[in-house]
Structure 1
Amino acid sequence: MVDFSRRQLMATSVAASVGASVAGGVVSGEEEDTDTDNAPSVDGEIKRFASTALGAEVTGPFVLPGGTLLFSLQHPSRENPEPFNSGGIGYVQGYQFEDGSDFEELDVPNTNEEKGRVRVGEGEYTLLARENDNLGNGEDLGMPTTPDGLEVDEFAGSRYTDLGYNPDMNQFIPTNDEGTEGLLFTNFESSPGNVTRMPISRDDDGTWSADLENTINLSNTEELRSLGGTRINCYGDVSPWDTPLSAEEEYAHTRTSLTSTVSDIVEDGTGVGHRGGAQFWNRPNPSEIQSAIDEYYGDDSWSVQGFWALGGLELLAYYLGADRVDQAGGYTENTTTPIADNYPNPYRTGYIVDFREPDAETPKPVKYHVFGRAAWECPDVQSDEKTVYLSSDGSNKGFYKFVADEPIPSYDDPMDVKGTLYAAKVTNKEAAAKKPPAEAELELEWLAMSRASNAEVAEWIAEYDDVSQVDYLETHADTDWQEDLEAALEEADKEVAENGNQNYITDEEIKEWGELWSEDPESTVADRGRDDLRKVPFLETRAAAKEIGATVEFRKSEGIDSIEDAEPGDYVYVGISEVNDGMSDDAGDLRTERVDGGLVYRGKLEDDYNISTLEPVIVGPDATDPADVADDALVNVDNIYVMDDGRVLCCEDADQFGRSYKNDCMYVYTPPELKDDGGDDESEETTENGGHGNGNGNGNGNNGNGNNGNGNNGN
């Protein structure tokens, strides 16, 4: 995932430029932290297979039929030598991951030449396509356009990131029986978001090639634009019914900041100190809200969680066809003139997107609104075709499950998919708090939040389609914005901060839904005459989960995956990039010791495909562990991919801590049961080292010119 965030709780602050990661003071080295036992450690074995170019994450792992590994080169430093200075999609030529295959472990990058390129333990990394490659229809790879064909990059306005610079997910749909030809679907993590479909094929000598002439940006199809487009497309999966699933990592969904709840706002009588970025969605120049809050409230200012992810919203509006009123000087300057038409509906982004009929001239995108709305890193759909696990990235986030009434592909129309959305609650907080993270299993109870069909949720979403930036001013300010825009904007900002954004679901609706749920969790709110409140957990998923006591404390819940056709007894793996913030404070259900290098959990599927326990299998280093410890440990795991033989590819998006190098790596994890069955026993089975965490958060971010910064994440 791309993590362009900024955290601060300082009395005053200077707003970070959108797309940059700037260190702040929430979870930082200012805190005293002792060594965490068994950090790092591995139950099984990890071996480094690849290191990526400086500045880049390792994203989008996928093993093609025959064993060829694909992965993306995401936001590399512009200072790297060609071709490793631009975003790209590549594969490992000359090596195949086969059942139990071994490889020579890659050493750490030492020289500038090694640090500036992608290296692999076996074979050679070869790029298939790069940022700005021209496609047959005249578009550039990964670049969204307006309905009349103008590249969105031409507009002035805040950026989430450079468009086309952040390829992430790669999912391959074969088009022949041998799997030597097929369609590669790649996410681009930006706003507007994008998914490309690229035909690729394997030659007799084992080399793969891309057909750029017939590659398309799906964002620029009417089918996807009619759904409101996408934002921040991160990782994904191939469904059991053989379609690509793309996850929208909508960080700006955060209605309340960090640990705050809607009930806290009601109890305090004001949202000051509590509001998150989502409440300022339709503000003119929304990504500037943190600067405004700092100016308005001074010493009482707070970190508006997710505000930075409002960057790119106005570009999304132009992508959807908004009149170009927010431009000056030939699209060179952004102003605060409000956009009055085609402004994005917040409730249309933050979902799992299924591209049905992937080999049609234009695939048919479907958004699964019933899965809930969040900063989804990835879905993991089980082989029962009904159960879906979902991980949400950022600080103080939940862990979710959706269970359909019937197998999802059995519905003639995917809008008829109906089922129950659940949020996880950790029930053994006392036991978990007494052990280091390497020894602390988490016991889960699943709280049923609500039931609906995809079509029902779509109808609720449509109620908010006509809300614009003009509405933000006219609803929340007494001053006529056309007479004094600056005064009206300040009035509106303060009104929203204090009493909430009245253009969307209100605090009162969320609180009332939570109270009705708490009175009788087994009954639906519809049974008590409030069918109108059923929309709350689907459109305001995180806020609703907080209201009913779910564990909304997970820190950067990243990749999630299980073996293809997983059955009861198999494992679902979940990466937690950092164990700090809500996971390691002294409140709530999670009060573990800090491990800023993160960890990997796994949960065993039960007979009904339920998971009731998460056990740690890989633990990263503490933040101040020296190079001889940190160099060979998994740091800040991101994407996870379970191969057919049960081994797990673990990709990093790392704050490198004490490492001797700054490159992110990919490791191959061999679970203990595979080693016991005759796997490679040459390496030590478990590594245990002490360390000291200084709390520097993960945050590889791009500031729009290729430079990457490390900082704490308030996403």
Structure 2
Amino acid sequence: MKRVALSLIASAIALSLAGCNGDDGAMGAQGPKGEQGTAGQDGVNGQNGQNGQNGQNGQDGKDGSNGANGAGLIRIATVPAGAEVTGLFLNDAGDLFFNVQHPADSNTQTESFNKRPYNTGTVGVLTGVNFNQLPRNIVSTPVPASTAEQQIVMSAVGQYQILGQTGDTFAELGDKGLAGGLGVHYGINTKQEIIKNDNPDFNGFISTGENSGYLFTNWEAYPGGVSRLKMSKNTQGKWSIEEAMMVNFDLVHGTAANCFGSVSPWGTPLTSEEWIVDSAVDTTTNPEWNNPDDHNTDEMEALMAPAFPNPYRYGYIAEIKSPTATAPEAVKHFTIGRYEHENAVVMPDKRTVYSSQDDTGGVLFKFVADQPEDLSSGTLYASKLKQDAGLTDPAVTGFDIEWIKLASGTNVNIEAWIAEYDNITTADYVAGKTSYISMADVQAWADGKATYPTEAEGGSPVTAGKPMDNRVAFLESRQAARLKGATAEWRKLEGLAINHNRALEAVTGQDVVPGEIVEKAYMYIGISDIDNTMIDGKGDMQLSSRVKDCGGVYRAHIDTNYNLTRIEPVVMGGTYRSTLSGAERCDVNQLSQPDNVIVMQDGRIIIGEDGFQGNNTLWLYDPKAK
């Protein structure tokens, strides 16, 4: 501040008053005001005060998707006790089909809509809701609490309608019914019933009109099969069955363990044989198949009786051609390889096919057809993975992909090789040897040898000493891939899924998806168990055991030529609690052994569980929540 000096007169008066103690005299007249004194210098600024303490962080806002655990998960439905969720399929009209596989036969509860208990394999659909127009504010259905809730299908939206159950004959349809029963399989030559299948799996809907079509369903057993239901929907969204049949596979020697599947871009169902190939990761292939003392294959032997089955006739992707014809034609595509197929997905180019092997030590395969819409000829590849450096936790660890070419082939040529094993029987079995392709054969092929090894060198009696060919790549695909350097370490590599329109728009730039510009598209992959060969500290996959049997879902980016270049985690189950038992090992509000997935038009994904929860869940997950 500026200081003002006192005038001289004021100073004199002040001094005289301060210097004596006498009586004050009378005040004189006020003198004239003195001149303004010279301004003083500015004072120095004071030091800044200390900063106040930061306030506490506010709480995170709730996830906009209203998920059960704040991670974008919505519990769309639960299935009855003992069952897993299978057969996920979403058609263009927004109908969501899914099945109740092998529910407990002790379930007795019914509800007013179906009036039937869920105590056997069940094929069904959610009615009264269009999943292609599903809002994002859906609230999860509760975890079943009462015994009654635990024995039925509970859903957050819609009403589950039973379309058919194991053994249903649809007698009310007369000659359009199914005399033998839904999911019942017979011997090709004996025509005798072998098994009544309790395991409906894949569903694929082929539309014939706005509210009508054919529903194809896989029945997973040994032997397996596919049913076809002709259906129509009324104005209230309820379906009626008009015709029922089991597809005839006799001309392709029957099928084995039809698991998941897909519908090709040209409208044909692709059913997957999850045939147990018995090709362990590092041991001799098919050593016991024709052992007369091995009774694990009795049901497959009954399929072909009195002939003995050739194992190389099973383990493929089969295409059901002319699906709406009176008698659909089935063709097995040996070109896509032989292994435990979970399902195959065809890209919008109608040539590129990805297929998963559901086993311990499995491989992710790719097939590229020579011509669009024709899977009978092309080239088979296997994936080689490179794990992200310095990462092991499944929730954050991804893999780069390299594709290794195995071989090119045609169905015709491969079947000629298969036929060479048709006449092998139990009489040809020799303990300690194999009547089929041996590991020495596979190694010789991988090493580029000119001829197959002799029997003395460990070769098969069928090919011993003969010129080398590519049968190994197509008939023992996992071993061929492994010895060529591919990654054979997946554990329970389950369903693969894309949204055709999203993939097409992302790759071509065409305006296909209404109201959204899709610049990146992905193939989603369900993994039931992240354990065994994925966490053993060996090879290309060296993940931690934190998630283990709770599993998770991955995605793979679809490149400009429909090639997959990288796999990364999307949503994982919670921490696996090995000290607990039963359903408690995985959090009921998070994934527990996801099996199959489908991708909605808006990019959300639907996930079905094959876990050990009291009631497995059908989840809806929004990747945008990540």
After TM superposition, the score normalised by the length of structure 1 is 0.68
Within 5 Å, give how 1:65-464 maps onto structure 2: 65-81=92-108, 82-102=116-136, 103-135=138-170, 136-147=177-188, 150-153=191-194, 163-176=196-209, 178=210, 180-211=211-242, 214-218=243-247, 221=248, 224-251=249-276, 253-256=277-280, 258=281, 260=282, 274-275=283-284, 278-287=286-295, 311=296, 313-320=297-304, 322-323=305-306, 342-409=307-374, 417-428=376-387, 431=389, 434-464=391-421
Aligned-partner Cα distance in 2 for 1:285–1:562: 44
- 2:491 maps to which of 537, 555, 568: 555
Aligned-partner Cα distance in 2 for 1:376–1:68: 26
Following TM superposition, by how much is the alpha carbon of 1:396 offset from its aligned partner in structure 2, in angstroms?
Answer: 0.9
Alpha carbons 1:72, 1:89 under 8 Å: kept: yes
Query: Residues 42 and 440 (structure 1 numbering): CA distance in 2 closer, same or farther, change over 3 Å?
Result: farther
Matched with 1:572 is 523
Aligned-partner Cα distance in 1 for 2:130–2:190: 41
After TM superposition, the score normalised by the length of structure 2 is 0.78
Aligned-partner Cα distance in 1 for 2:166–2:351: 37
Matched with 2:543 is 592
**Secondary structure of the corresponding residue to residue 124 of structure 2:** strand
Following TM superposition, by how much is the alpha carbon of 1:362 offset from its aligned partner in structure 2, in angstroms?
Answer: 0.9
Following TM superposition, by how much is the alpha carbon of 1:507 offset from its aligned partner in structure 2, in angstroms?
Answer: 2.5
Following TM superposition, by how much is the alpha carbon of 1:104 offset from its aligned partner in structure 2, in angstroms?
Answer: 2.6
Query: Residues 468 and 91 (structure 1 numbering): CA distance in 2 closer, same or farther, change over 3 Å?
Result: same
Higher relative contact order (CA 8 A, sep 6+): 1
Unpaired runs of 5+ residues, structure 1, are 1-39, 154-161, 261-273, 288-310, 324-341, 477-491, 519-528, 657-661, 673-684, 687-715
**Secondary structure of the corresponding residue to residue 280 of structure 1:** coil
Matched with 1:622 is 575
Alpha carbons 2:68, 2:140 under 8 Å: kept: no
**Secondary structure of the corresponding residue to residue 419 of structure 1:** strand
Aligned-partner Cα distance in 1 for 2:284–2:585: 43
Aligned-partner Cα distance in 1 for 2:332–2:368: 16
Aligned-partner Cα distance in 1 for 2:189–2:168: 21
- 1:602 maps to which of 551, 555, 569: 555
Following TM superposition, by how much is the alpha carbon of 1:530 offset from its aligned partner in structure 2, in angstroms?
Answer: 8.1
**Secondary structure of the corresponding residue to residue 559 of structure 1:** strand
User: Larger strand proportion, structure 1 or 2?
Assistant: 2
**Secondary structure of the corresponding residue to residue 168 of structure 2:** coil
Query: Residues 629 and 557 (structure 1 numbering): CA distance in 2 closer, same or farther, change over 3 Å?
Result: closer
Aligned-partner Cα distance in 2 for 1:209–1:353: 28
Aligned-partner Cα distance in 2 for 1:151–1:119: 38
Q: Which whole-Å deviations, capped at 9, do the CAs of 1:194-232 have from their partners, x for residues lacking one?
A: 101110110122111223xx31111xx3xx212111000
Alpha carbons 1:351, 1:374 under 8 Å: kept: yes
**Secondary structure of the corresponding residue to residue 315 of structure 2:** coil
Matched with 1:663 is 615
Q: Which whole-Å deviations, capped at 9, do the CAs of 1:334-365 have from their partners, x for residues lacking one?
A: xxxxxxxx211111111111001111111111
- 2:90 maps to which of 59, 63, 77: 63
Alpha carbons 1:41, 1:620 under 8 Å: kept: no
Aligned-partner Cα distance in 2 for 1:536–1:588: 23
Alpha carbons 2:361, 2:491 under 8 Å: kept: yes
Following TM superposition, by how much is the alpha carbon of 1:250 offset from its aligned partner in structure 2, in angstroms?
Answer: 1.3
Kindly indicate whether residue 481 of structure 2 is the aligned counterpart of residue 545 of structure 1: yes
Q: Which whole-Å deviations, capped at 9, do the CAs of 1:53-110 have from their partners, x for residues lacking one?
A: 0111000011234222111111000111152001110111222212342433111111
Aligned-partner Cα distance in 2 for 1:359–1:100: 30
**Secondary structure of the corresponding residue to residue 427 of structure 1:** strand
Following TM superposition, by how much is the alpha carbon of 1:610 offset from its aligned partner in structure 2, in angstroms?
Answer: 0.6
State the one-letter code of the partner of 2:383: A
Alpha carbons 1:100, 1:645 under 8 Å: kept: no
Alpha carbons 1:350, 1:376 under 8 Å: kept: yes
Following TM superposition, by how much is the alpha carbon of 1:148 offset from its aligned partner in structure 2, in angstroms?
Answer: 5.9
**Secondary structure of the corresponding residue to residue 75 of structure 2:** strand
Kindly indicate whether residue 616 of structure 2 is the aligned counterpart of residue 581 of structure 1: no
Aligned-partner Cα distance in 2 for 1:545–1:286: 28
- 2:602 maps to which of 632, 637, 645: 645
Aligned-partner Cα distance in 2 for 1:361–1:43: 49
Aligned-partner Cα distance in 2 for 1:371–1:117: 39
Q: Between 43-52 and 242-251, report the one with greater CA deviation.
A: 43-52
Matched with 2:79 is 52
**Secondary structure of the corresponding residue to residue 186 of structure 2:** coil
Following TM superposition, by how much is the alpha carbon of 1:366 offset from its aligned partner in structure 2, in angstroms?
Answer: 1.0
Unpaired runs of 5+ residues, structure 2, are 1-66, 109-115, 171-176, 451-464, 508-519
Query: Residues 137 and 77 (structure 1 numbering): CA distance in 2 closer, same or farther, change over 3 Å?
Result: closer
Q: Give the alignment's Cα RMSD to 1 decimal.
A: 2.3
Alpha carbons 2:268, 2:321 under 8 Å: kept: yes
Q: Which whole-Å deviations, capped at 9, do the CAs of 1:292-316 have from their partners, x for residues lacking one?
A: xxxxxxxxxxxxxxxxxxx3x3323
Following TM superposition, by how much is the alpha carbon of 1:644 offset from its aligned partner in structure 2, in angstroms?
Answer: 2.1
Query: Residues 395 and 182 (structure 1 numbering): CA distance in 2 closer, same or farther, change over 3 Å?
Result: same
Alpha carbons 2:168, 2:178 under 8 Å: kept: no
